[in-house]
Amino acid sequence: MRLAEAATIPLSAMTAAIHLYQVLHLPLPWAPATEATPLLIYGGASAVGAYAIKLAKLSNIYPLIVVAGRGIPFVENLIDRSQGDTVLDYRNGDDKIVGDLRDALGGRKLEYALDAVSEKNSYVNIDKVIEATGQVSLVLSAKEKVMPSGLKLVFRSVGTVHGPVAKDTRDGKHRAKIGDVQFGGVFFRFFAQGLRERWFTGHPYEVVPGGLRGLQVALKNLKEGRASAVKYIARLEDTEGLWPNPPLGAT
């Protein structure tokens, strides 16, 4: 695996893992689901969305109802239509995507949704199709914490896996409180094992010309929605004038 591909994994894959397993509490890959568990992934062509699809498949979670746009061909290569998975196009407007989501559910109850977009009405559309008792996990913080329907929106930062070990002081005794830090330690090793055994892969990427000096163009492309199903990677050694003798493999 190239270093650039490896760079696509830690932040995005761990974000997907935190939201699927620590927020939505879906079955883990080593204790997979034993029955159909519909899961909506909004923004399936994004790095977080794509890793969520990969992890959900490892957890035997199906059917996956994925929302995407220009990255639909990429998503098609990730889902399994024989399990009832489908990908829907959000570009036809909110009313159309809500109708398509209802059609895809086919009367089944939707209890779980991962919103890898978390803006532009994404969670508003989810609110219209998910059960009142359902759970929606957002990758970005929203102004609303509770929708008019009563649905709670939950945001969790992936940075919690790097935080200090929490303390449980019940009964006046100090003990470690098991949580995201320990989860992160386990899952980073899980990803590494998957890479070694080739059942886990990185995300498509594009190396930005000019290293750090090319970030402005990359950010502009992201802001204008030109990037789809791709991660931008800036290589430090490609940055002119950053240092006279760049370290080997610096990225």
CA distance 192 to 199: 10
Give the three-class secondary structure for 39.
Answer: strand
Given a cut of 80, whether residue 215 has pLDDT beyond it is yes
Burial degree of 160 (CB within 10 A; 0-12, 13-18, 19+): middle
Tell me what pLDDT residue 142 has. 86
Q: Picking from 26-30, 38-42, 89-93, 167-171, which range would have the lowest pLDDT averaged per residue?
A: 167-171
Tell me what pLDDT residue 166 has. 64
Percentage of the chain beyond pLDDT 70 is: 91
Tell me what pLDDT residue 244 has. 64
Tell me what pLDDT residue 56 has. 99
Tell me what pLDDT residue 250 has. 57
Which domains occur in the chain, in start order?
Answer: 3-161 (3.40.50.720), 205-238 (no CATH)
- 88: β partners: 67
**Which comes out higher in pLDDT, residue 244 or 3?**
3
CA distance 179 to 212: 35
Tell me what pLDDT residue 222 has. 87
Q: Among 5-9, 52-56, 179-183, which range has the highest average pLDDT?
A: 52-56
What is the arithmetic mean of pLDDT over 25-37?
98
CA distance 183 to 161: 7
Tell me what pLDDT residue 228 has. 85
Given a cut of 70, whether residue 135 has pLDDT beyond it is yes
In this prediction, residue 1 has a pLDDT band, given cuts at 50, 70 and 90, of: confident
Q: Are 62 and 37 in contact (CB under 8 A)?
A: yes
In this prediction, residue 251 has a pLDDT band, given cuts at 50, 70 and 90, of: low
Q: Buried b vs exposed e over 46-63: b needs ≥16 C-beta within 10 Å?
A: bbbbbbbbbbbbbbbbbb
